[in-house]
Amino acid sequence: MGQRHETCTGNHAGCSGQHRARRLLAHREEIANRIERVVEEETQNWGVEIISVKLQNIELPEDMKRVIARQAEAEREKRAVIIKSEGELTAAANLDKAVQQMSNRALYLRTLASLEDISYDPSNTIVFAIPLDITRGEIFGLTALAKSRTITRQNEKKTETREKQNV
């Protein structure tokens, strides 16, 4: 009986050796079925009937456990990066939609409101890296507005002067 047990154990090792360690845990049922077939073949001449084979405990070497743990951690990190990038992509798409719907002035006011929100804490030091084209457009727009008002006032004064001269 001892010799037969060793034979079955040897065949069992062959069955499980065909699977990678991480798949070993996932395919317990399949491995148990293969072991059952091997044991049935070895014991059929003895008149022994095998009812079932169940893998209750699988002991892996420590180095294999570390490898599996590293793979699982890498897989979790990969999923986290994917989820984060999908979130950033969705946020960018939503921001793009908002920008398309908002006028430049509304967008500028929104930026100012955001700046006001983050400036409440006096312990914060805030450095703004604002592209020049954004501020240049607003500055030039305000400059043009100021020039047009100045010209309008000058024209009004000229008109008043002419009216006074005509009277």
For the chain, give every domain's residue range.
1-58, 102-166
- Whether residue 82 has pLDDT greater than 50: yes
Asked whether the predicted pLDDT for residue 145 surpasses 90, the reply is: no
Which pLDDT score, from 0 to 100, does residue 111 have?
A: 78
Can you give the pLDDT at residue 22?
64
For residue 47, is it left (φ>0), alpha (ψ between -120 and 50) or beta? Answer: left
The DSSP output letter for 41 is H
- Between these two residues, 8 and 29, which has the higher pLDDT value? 29
What is the Rg, in whole angstroms, of the alpha carbon atoms belonging to the chain? Answer: 39
Q: Which two tokens stand for residue 111?
A: 């930026």
Task: Give, in order, the Cα–Cα distances in Å from 51 to each of 13, 27, 33, 48.
Answer: 20, 20, 11, 10
Q: Is the pLDDT of residue 79 over 90?
A: yes
Mean pLDDT of 45-63: 83
Q: How high is the pLDDT of residue 128? A: 67
pLDDT at 96: 84
pLDDT at 163: 82
Q: How far apart are CA 43 and CA 51, in angstroms?
A: 12
* pLDDT the model gives residue 115: 75
- CA 37 to chain CA centroid, Å, is 46
Sign (positive or negative) of CA dihedral 63, 68, 73, 78:
positive
- Sole residue written with tokens 């059952």: 36
How far apart are the C-alpha atoms of 71 and 31, rounded to whole Å? 22
For the ranges 5-19, 70-84, 126-140, 142-156, the lowest mean pLDDT is seen at 5-19
- The arithmetic mean of pLDDT across residues 47-72, rounded, is 84
Task: For residue 160, give the amino acid letter.
Answer: E
pLDDT of residue 20: 65
Quote the pTM value. Answer: 0.38
